[in-house]
Amino acid sequence: MLALITQTAIHFSESSIENNSHFSFLTQTKYLSLFVYFLYASVLSKIFMS
């Protein structure tokens, strides 16, 4: 699950660099911060569940 999320993030960052004309910097930052928050939350939940 975590590997899939990481792969998706890498793919998204690569594609957003390629499509830089389509994405504004603000949009990239917004999606990146959402992803980081989700990643942080999933790591915290794994720690508390175990």
Which pLDDT belongs to residue 40? 92
Give me the percent of the chain exceeding a pLDDT of 70: 62
43 C-beta neighbours (distance < 10 Å), count: 11
Report the alpha-carbon distance of residue 41 to residue 5 in Å, rounded.
13
Of residues 42 and 25, the one with the higher pLDDT is: 42
Buried-exposed string 2-26: b where 16+ CB fall within 10 A, e elsewhere? eeeeeeebeeeeeeeeeeeeeeeee
Of residues 45 and 24, the one with the higher pLDDT is: 45
pLDDT tens digit sequence for 9-29: 666 666 655 555 555 666 778
Amino acid (1-letter code) at residue 49: M
Would you list the domain boundaries of the chain? 2-49
Is residue 48 pLDDT above 80, yes or no?
A: yes
